[in-house]
């Protein structure tokens, strides 16, 4: 029964492909004569953005009362936390952090903490770091409590879960810049905005991990609880939550990291004197020395917080059987107590110990700036040509097509008809070759990219784009995914955002086209060569904990403001998941099948390509999925260094305080991300099924 | 004789699947034509995991439900404790209708009358051995010192003294199952459910645990419903065995009865190993004598 349905869908899908290709051909032929095919007519769009603004104007006064209460409470919490952290003498805070780090990760982490904190203090960022920490310190507990509650409710009520999942998707993919303005309007100006923004972004991982943890509690443990006569409350709090705790601690770690990265981003609206603001401010003034120093502060903070919370998440409950006797049972508690008793009182009376003195700040901005300037000056020729090459030979063709991009000015040659035919022949030959070696997907892939490079995302008539993507979505995930893809594209079209969307598509497409194969290659090497894997792991860990903001600094220095910089930044951010998933996929191929391959006499190369790679495909697909999501989420940040597209729209809206435009453009990005996610998850699933996993 | 029936299961059905399949089970259960109802359920994309299961368990008896995986034996056991709600049928415990109990009554009943041992132990990973064993008492609201004392008694009973403060992950499989047994007995239940308690253990440990189980029962006299897929275990431990296949009971009887007079080819095939084992053991026993 099921098989026959599958065949039927296969047949219908074949018919759909024919129709799709037909539509594409007609559109390309008619694009020059029928205006509306070439570009979506303005008259057909209607501005939801204005309606949103009107709605906001109507809504804000109505809600301002109760929301003002919320923002007062949050503001109070924030001020208290901030006050305590600012009042605490820095040597005391320093020692307490080190003790916590030692408790979490032993001596290595303690040493790392000492070095990092010393850097923060010496560079004069102690106070601003504490301000950032205060925001995180308020956001995380609130997010965790709300997230756990929501997670429990979702676990208990299935209908709520099905409502919550898409909401969580939107919360995680909607760029923060898009909702900063509405929050600002609703809650008023101030650091509370950053707090709420970071909570919106950091609640989802807590909810997801709570649900996951509860779902993964072995049924026997829940049954054991039931048979002991637990009522619902006892079952939840005495059995299921404790059993789900390891997973929930992972959620806490993710929530903390999300909160930190969003606190940094939210600094863009100002109002709080924290590290994020320092980075942004110096970056805007093109003071690369200071921004590099401040960026490193953020990076160190991120690494510290991540390592400490992750170590706490991973330590299991200690076995009292091997605990030390008597008073040595809690050495860390004792040490903390000693710090408070011995160091705190004198510190309060000695000015230098209470607040980190300015005279002790070691200002090496000058040296750094000089060094950077010489470095950039010496490499600028090479960097400049790299930039030009990337723009003219790669990014531009992808956006406006070889058709437009090849000109004597940029390429030094004319795109003659003969060259056009040669290009078409090349693509056709590539497709045929792929088809000949039995890979239909490969053939379709080459053909699509061939067409894309010829016309560019801007040059392709919109109906062609809509048709092809909808078809891909249908093939990958069925009717539901296709409907989602169509809805997304229609939303973008109707809001008149098609052109910026295509700019973004070109940028993201280019980034993914470079980042994914590169990541796969590195991941493959890491899976095969042990020392590469060991060397690359800490680098990946570090890159993944880094708030997106930090990525901008080095590339901005090297390549200045511009689209190429944006491309490189997106690539840098999207590279890590490609590496990780590829390595993981290749390494989790069952040992039995690798041994079978060896026993059959495979060379290492054959083993990789014929045995491991095919089985790693589902995992690598998920890696591609993450790569795309990362690229999209970086889009808005990249807009800071100058791109055109949806990211820029969001950023412009932020500048003009235009809630409507910001939300609509942001929502477009979120919808694109969610659609891509569904399509690639679908592909991963079907390749998994094909392997019978 | 009837007065000594402790637990009675009458025409029990458990169907998984869409609403229609459940309805078909409910409307068809009274007809007595089990095969037809199961077929109807299958057509409606459902699965009758337990089909018209009926048996009585006597006070103090070891009653074993036996079958291959997917035969419905674990589902039947879970219906008896209402960890899984039966679709249709009657469960009488001490003559009272167990299926009609309200959630509150059910909780009370489980606290005082039922204990259960699980195949993969089902121990709480975050609690120590002592806390695990005391857990049913904690649920009842018994205060700390008393429940620890009673839990220690249980530990002595299963010969686990000295491991109070270990966590389950620090114990071997056999020790973990002893904790499971001690926990299931902590509330002093009348009815003791064991769901493949020894299947996850090594053969030697399994043998040892079976002996300990028989030893315990000789002093406790619980009413036991024991699920296993291992015929030799069943023959060794049971007062009576019910053999299940595809959701139905094929034969109920004392071990010897089943071995000597298998009801059909399936039971004969199934019990062949045990019969041969018995013959070898009998022969060897004769030699020894």
Residues within 8 A of B (CB atoms), A 244-283 only: 245
Q: Kindly determine whether residue A227 and residue B139, on different chains, have CB atoms separated by under 8 Å.
A: no
Q: How many CB atoms lie within 10 A of CB A345?
A: 11
pLDDT on residue B288? 39
Residue A660, both tokens? 């409507």
Q: Kindly determine whether residue A224 and residue B123, on different chains, have CB atoms separated by under 8 Å.
A: yes
Chain A interface includes B118 (CB < 8 A): yes
> Which residues neighbour B257 within 8 Å (Cβ) at sequence distance 6 or greater?
none
Q: Give the residue-averaged pLDDT of A191-211.
A: 91
Q: Is the pLDDT of residue A578 over 70?
A: yes
Q: Which of B116, B120, B128 sits opposite A227 (nearest CB)?
A: B116
Residue B173 main-chain phi, psi, to 5 deg: -55, -45
| pLDDT confidence tier of residue A319, bands split at 50, 70 and 90 | very low
Chain B interface includes A237 (CB < 8 A): no
pLDDT on residue A8? 42
Write out pLDDT tens, residues A215-249: 999 999 999 999 999 999 999 999 999 999 988 99
Q: Which of A220, A234, A243 sits opposite B139 (nearest CB)?
A: A234
pTM: 0.83
Write out pLDDT tens, residues A669-683: 888 888 888 888 888
Q: How many CB atoms lie within 10 A of CB A691?
A: 12
pLDDT on residue A270? 67
Chain A interface includes B91 (CB < 8 A): no
Q: Report which of A496, A290, B67 is spatially closest to residue A277, judged by C-alpha positions.
A: A290
Q: Report which of A216, A209, A217 is spatially closest to residue A238, judged by C-alpha positions.
A: A217
- Give the count of Cβ contacts less than 8 A between chain A and B: 81
From the CA atom positions of chain A, what is the Rg in Å? 28
* Residue of B109, B133, B141, B167 best to disrupt the A interface, most CBs of A under 10 A: B167
pLDDT on residue A157? 93
> Which residues neighbour A637 within 8 Å (Cβ) at sequence distance 6 or greater?
A265, A548, A549, A551, A552, A569, A647
Q: Which of B124, B136, B193 sits opposite A221 (nearest CB)?
A: B124
CB A216 within 8 A of CB A247: yes
Chain B interface includes A353 (CB < 8 A): no
What span, in angstroms and rounded, lies between the C-alpha atoms of A301 and A274? Answer: 12
pLDDT on residue A402? 81
Domain residue spans of chain A: 39-87+130-315, 364-460, 497-693
Q: Give the residue-averaged pLDDT of A134-162.
A: 94
Report chain A's mean pLDDT, rounded to a whole number. Answer: 84
Superfamily (CATH) of domain A39-87+130-315: MetI-like (1.10.3720.10)
Tell me which H or E stretch contains B50. strand B47-58
- A201 vs A349, which has greater pLDDT? A201
Q: Is the pLDDT of residue A325 over 70?
A: no
Q: Kindly determine whether residue A230 and residue B139, on different chains, have CB atoms separated by under 8 Å.
A: yes
Q: Is the pLDDT of residue A643 over 90?
A: no
Q: Is the pLDDT of residue A323 over 50?
A: no
Q: Give the residue-averaged pLDDT of A388-405.
A: 82
Q: Kindly determine whether residue B116 and residue A221, on different chains, have CB atoms separated by under 8 Å.
A: no
Tell me which H or E stretch contains B242. strand B240-245
pLDDT on residue A321? 43
Residue B266, both tokens? 């399936």
CB contacts, 8 Å: A226 with chain B: 83, 110
C-beta contacts of A384-392 below 8 A and 24+ residues apart: A387/A559, A387/A562, A387/A564, A390/A564, A390/A567, A391/A563, A391/A564
What is the ipTM score, two decimals?
0.87
| pLDDT confidence tier of residue A348, bands split at 50, 70 and 90 | confident
pLDDT on residue A629? 87
CATH of domain A497-693: 1.10.3720.10
Q: Report which of A32, A36, A16, A17 is spatially closest to residue A462, judged by C-alpha positions.
A: A36
Residue A600, Cα to own-chain centre: how many angstroms? 42
Q: Kindly determine whether residue A321 and residue B122, on different chains, have CB atoms separated by under 8 Å.
A: no
Q: Is the pLDDT of residue A485 over 50?
A: yes
Minimal C-alpha gap between A215 and chain B (Å): 15
Identify the weakest region by mean pLDDT among A116-120, A268-272, A333-337, B92-96. A268-272
What span, in angstroms and rounded, lies between the C-alpha atoms of A552 and A569? Answer: 6
Chain B interface includes A351 (CB < 8 A): no
Write out pLDDT tens, residues A281-292: 888 887 888 888
What span, in angstroms and rounded, lies between the C-alpha atoms of A444 and A449? Answer: 9
Residue A125 main-chain phi, psi, to 5 deg: -105, 10
The fold of the B59-87+99-288 domain, in CATH, is Rossmann fold (3.40.50)
Write out pLDDT tens, residues A594-638: 888 888 888 888 888 888 988 888 888 888 888 988 888 888 888
Identify the weakest region by mean pLDDT among A161-165, A182-186, A588-592. A182-186
CB contacts, 8 Å: A316 with chain B: 169
pLDDT on residue B28? 84
Per-position b or e across B38-68, b if 16+ CB within 10 A of its CB: bebbeebebbbbbbbbebbbbeebbbbbbbe
Weakly modelled stretches of chain B, pLDDT under 50: 1-2, 283-289
Q: Give the residue-averaged pLDDT of A477-502.
A: 87
Q: Is the pLDDT of residue A86 over 60?
A: yes
């Amino acid at each position: 029964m099921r098989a026959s349905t599958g065949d039927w869908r296969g047949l219908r899908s074949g018919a759909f492909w024919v129709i799709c290709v037909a539509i594409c051909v007609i559109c390309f032929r008619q694009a020059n004569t029928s205006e509306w095919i070439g570009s979506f007519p303005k008259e057909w769009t209607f501005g939801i953005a204005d309606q949103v603004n009107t709605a906001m104007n109507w809504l804000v006064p109505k809600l301002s009362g109760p929301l003002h209460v919320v923002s007062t409470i949050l503001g109070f919490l924030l001020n208290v936390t901030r006050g305590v952290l600012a009042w605490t003498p820095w040597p005391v805070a320093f020692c307490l952090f080190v003790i916590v780090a030692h408790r979490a990760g032993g001596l290595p982490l303690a040493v790392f903490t000492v070095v990092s904190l010393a850097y923060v203090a010496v560079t004069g960022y102690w106070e601003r770091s504490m301000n950032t920490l205060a925001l995180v310190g308020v956001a995380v507990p609130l997010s965790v409590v709300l997230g756990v509650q929501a997670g429990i409710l979702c676990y208990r009520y299935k209908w709520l879960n099905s409502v919550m999942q898409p909401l969580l998707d939107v919360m995680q993919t909607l760029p923060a810049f898009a909702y900063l303005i509405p929050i600002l309007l609703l809650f008023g100006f101030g650091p509370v905005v950053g707090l709420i923004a970071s909570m919106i972004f950091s609640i989802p991982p807590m909810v997801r991990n709570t649900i996951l943890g509860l779902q993964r509690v072995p049924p026997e443990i829940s049954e054991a609880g039931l048979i002991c006569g637990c009522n619902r409350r006892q079952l939840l709090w005495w059995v299921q939550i404790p059993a789900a705790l390891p997973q929930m601690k992972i959620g806490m770690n993710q929530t903390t990291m999300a909160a930190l990265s969003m606190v940094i981003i939210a600094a863009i609206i100002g109002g709080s004197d924290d590290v994020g603001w320092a980075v942004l401010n110096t970056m805007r003034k093109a003071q690369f020395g200071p921004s590099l120093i401040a960026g490193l502060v953020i990076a160190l903070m991120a690494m510290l917080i991540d390592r400490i919370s992750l170590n706490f998440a991973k330590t299991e409950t200690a076995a009292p059987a091997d605990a030390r006797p008597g008073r040595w049972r809690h050495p860390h508690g004792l040490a903390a107590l000693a710090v408070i008793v011995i160091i705190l009182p004198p510190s309060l009376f000695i000015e230098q110990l209470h607040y980190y003195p300015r005279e002790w700040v070691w200002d090496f901005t000058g040296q750094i700036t000089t060094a950077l300037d010489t470095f950039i000056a010496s490499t600028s020729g090479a960097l400049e040509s790299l930039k030009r090459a990337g723009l003219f030979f790669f990014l531009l063709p992808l956006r406006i097509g070889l058709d437009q991009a090849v000109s004597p000015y940029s390429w030094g040659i004319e795109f003659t008809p003969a060259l056009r035919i040669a290009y078409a022949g090349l693509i056709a030959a590539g497709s045929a070759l792929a088809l000949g070696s039995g890979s239909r997907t490969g053939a379709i892939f080459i053909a699509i990219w061939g067409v894309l490079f010829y016309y560019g995302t801007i040059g392709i008539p919109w109906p062609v784009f809509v048709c092809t993507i909808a078809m891909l979505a249908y093939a990958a995930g069925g009717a539901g995914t296709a409907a989602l893809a169509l809805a997304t594209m229609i939303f973008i079209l109707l809001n008149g955002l098609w052109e910026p969307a295509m700019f973004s598509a070109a940028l993201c497409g280019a980034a993914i086209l470079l980042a994914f194969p590169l990541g796969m290659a590195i991941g493959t090497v890491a899976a095969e060569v042990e020392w590469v894997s060991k060397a690359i792991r800490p680098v990946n860990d570090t890159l993944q904990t880094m708030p997106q903001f930090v990525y901008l600094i080095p590339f901005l220095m090297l390549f200045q403001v511009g689209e190429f910089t944006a491309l490189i930044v997106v690539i840098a951010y999207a590279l890590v998941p490609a590496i990780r998933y590829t390595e993981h996929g290749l390494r989790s191929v069952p040992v039995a099948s690798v041994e079978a391959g060896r026993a059959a006499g495979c060379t290492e190369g054959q083993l990789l390509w014929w045995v491991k790679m095919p089985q790693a495909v589902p995992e690598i697909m998920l890696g591609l999925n993450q790569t795309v999501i990362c690229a999209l989420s970086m889009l808005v940040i990249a807009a800071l260094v100058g791109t055109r597209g949806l990211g820029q729209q969001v950023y412009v809206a932020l500048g003009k305080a235009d809630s409507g435009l910001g939300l609509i453009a942001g929502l477009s990005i979120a919808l694109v991300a969610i659609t891509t996610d569904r399509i690639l998850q679908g592909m991963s699933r079907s390749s998994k099924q094909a392997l019978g996993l | 004789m009837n007065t000594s029936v402790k637990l009675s299961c009458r025409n029990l059905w458990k169907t998984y699947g869409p609403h229609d399949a459940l309805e078909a089970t409910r409307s068809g259960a009274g007809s007595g034509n089990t095969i037809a109802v199961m077929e109807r359920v299958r057509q409606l994309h459902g699965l009758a995991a337990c089909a018209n299961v009926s048996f009585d368990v006597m006070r103090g008896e070891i009653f074993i439900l036996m079958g291959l995986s997917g035969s419905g034996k674990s589902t039947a056991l879970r219906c008896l404790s209402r960890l899984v709600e039966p679709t249709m049928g009657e469960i009488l415990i001490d003559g009272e209708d167990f299926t009609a109990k309200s959630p509150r009554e059910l909780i009370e009943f489980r606290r005082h009358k039922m204990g259960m041992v699980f195949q993969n132990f089902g121990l709480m990973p975050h609690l120590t051995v002592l806390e695990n064993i005391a857990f049913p008492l904690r649920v009842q609201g018994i205060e700390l010192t008393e429940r620890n004392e009673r839990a220690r008694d249980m530990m002595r009973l299963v010969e686990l003294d000295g491991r109070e403060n270990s966590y389950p992950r620090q114990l071997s499989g056999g020790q973990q199952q002893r904790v499971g047994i001690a926990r299931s007995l902590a509330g002093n239940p009348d009815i003791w459910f064991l769901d493949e308690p020894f299947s996850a253990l090594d053969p030697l440990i399994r043998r040892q645990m079976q002996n300990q189980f028989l030893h315990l029962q000789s002093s406790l006299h619980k009413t036991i419903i024991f699920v296993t897929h291992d015929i030799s275990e069943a023959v060794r431990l049971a007062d009576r065995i019910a053999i299940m296949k595809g959701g139905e009971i094929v034969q109920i009887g004392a071990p010897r009865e089943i071995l000597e007079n298998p009801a059909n080819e399936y039971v004969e095939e199934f019990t062949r190993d045990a019969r041969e084992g018995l013959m070898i053991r009998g022969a060897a026993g004769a030699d020894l004598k």
